């Protein structure tokens, strides 16, 4: 095996990778708090905001960059491909197990998150959630359908985790998943989990029935 030789340039590049990796890790811990250990079935809440909106495994993204940073600093560059393979082999097994735990724990909520968020390479989230209200809204929560025959609109639940309802004149009307939905009227409020949307129609497009 060839010995490694380091240099100021390699120290700089490796240092940048290590710092970037630690920033990834800190961002993940800041978002998840004490719920980052996903090998336990005692996880109470699925974390999908912050760094977890960009990648399903920001802590492992950070670990990868730290690994690569130390390899670059060591100067044993021939070890880089091997380090990548070792990382992929180890963490692929870990992640597959953890994803199984999360699917069995959170079911549809995790499957929706899984469809929209990459496992490894971070990408800009389609809709980044930033708090408890957004966490109660599924990525495919509900939709509003227009009815050409009546000129009205209905809200329909798409199998959301936290449910959909309509608040009308102080009363709450539930929107069961898979149903025909609830006809919307002027001034209605659509409740998606813990978020609320107030409905305002163009008076010429609805008869208020």
Q: Check: CB of residue 63 under 8 Å from CB of residue 102.
A: no
CB 46 within 8 A of CB 76: no
Higher pLDDT pick, 45 / 164? 164
Residue 1, pLDDT score? 57
13 and 113 both lie in a single domain: yes
Asked whether residue 2 is domain-assigned, the answer is: no
CA distance 96 to 79: 26
Comparing CA positions, the residue from 166, 104, 115, 103 lying closest to residue 139 is 115
Nearest CA among 60, 69, 37, 30 for reference residue 121 = 60
Selected residue with higher pLDDT from 34 and 198? 198
Residue at token pair 């060591």: 74
For residue 152, what pLDDT is reported?
87
Evaluate if residue 44 carries a pLDDT over 90.
Answer: no
* Strand arrangement of the beta sheet that strand 195-198 belongs to: 171-175, 164-168, 189-192, 195-198
Query: What CA–CA distance (Å, rounded) separates 30 from 113?
Result: 19
Does residue 189 form part of some domain?
A: yes
Please count the other Cβ atoms lying within 10 Å of the Cβ belonging to residue 99: 16
Task: Look at the chain and report how many structural domains it folds into.
Answer: 2
- pTM as predicted: 0.57
* The pLDDT of residue 158 is above 60: yes
Query: Where does a domain end: 117, 133, 149?
Result: 133
Residue 135 in this model has a pLDDT that exceeds 90? no
Whether residue 95 contacts residue 158, with contact meaning beta carbons closer than 8 Å, is answered with no
H-assigned helices in 33-149: 58-74, 79-106, 108-116, 132-135
Classified as helix, coil or strand, 55 is coil
Q: How confident is the model at residue 128 (pLDDT cuts 50, 70, 90)?
A: very low
Percent of the chain at pLDDT > 70 equals 83
- Helix, strand, or coil (residue 47): coil
Looking at per-residue pLDDT, the higher value among 123 and 43 belongs to 123
pLDDT of residue 53: 87
Domain residue limits at 184? 136-205
Domain membership of residue 165 (yes or no) is yes
Claim to verify: residue 178 and residue 76 sit in the same structural domain: no
Question: Would you state the pLDDT for residue 43?
Answer: 64
172: phi then psi, degrees, rounded to nearest 5: -105, 130
Domain boundary among 105, 133, 161: 133
The pLDDT score that the predictor gives to residue 62 is 95
Check whether 130 has a pLDDT greater than 60: no
Residue with more model confidence, 47 or 126: 47
Asked, for residue 86, whether it belongs to a domain, the answer is yes
Torsion sign over Cα 35, 36, 41, 46: positive
Average pLDDT over every residue of 98-118 = 84
Does the pLDDT at position 147 exceed 90?
no
Q: What is the CATH number of the domain that holds 80?
A: 1.20.120.1630
Please check the confidence at residue 207 and state whether its pLDDT lies above 50. Answer: no
99, 133, 167 - which closes a domain? 133
pLDDT at residue 87 in the model: 92
Angle at 118 between CA 38 and CA 56, to 5 degrees: 20
What's the pLDDT score for residue 149? 84
Task: Tell me the per-residue pLDDT of 57-107, one tens digit each, with 9 for 90 and over.
Answer: 999 999 999 999 999 999 888 888 999 999 999 999 999 999 988 888 888
């Amino acid at each position: 095996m060839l010995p490694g030789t380091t240099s100021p340039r390699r120290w700089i590049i490796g240092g940048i990778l290590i710092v970037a990796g630690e920033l990834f890790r800190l961002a993940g811990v800041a978002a998840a708090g004490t719920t980052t250990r996903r090998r336990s079935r005692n996880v109470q809440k699925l974390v999908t905001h912050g760094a977890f909106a960009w990648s399903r495994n920001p802590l492992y993204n950070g670990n990868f960059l730290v690994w690569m940073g130390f390899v670059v600093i060591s100067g044993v560059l021939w070890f880089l491909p091997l380090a990548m393979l070792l990382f992929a082999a180890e963490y692929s097994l870990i992640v597959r197990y953890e994803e199984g735990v999360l699917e069995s724990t959170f079911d549809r909520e995790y499957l929706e998150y899984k469809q929209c968020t990459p496992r490894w390479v971070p990408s800009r989230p389609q809709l980044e959630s930033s708090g408890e209200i957004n966490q109660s809204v599924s990525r495919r929560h509900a939709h509003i359908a227009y009815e050409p025959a009546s000129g009205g609109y209905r809200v329909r639940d798409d199998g959301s985790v936290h449910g959909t309802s309509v608040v009308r004149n102080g009363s709450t009307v539930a929107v069961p998943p898979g149903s025909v939905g609830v006809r919307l009227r002027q001034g209605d409020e659509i409740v998606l989990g813990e978020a609320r949307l107030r409905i305002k129609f163009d008076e010429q497009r609805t008869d208020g029935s």
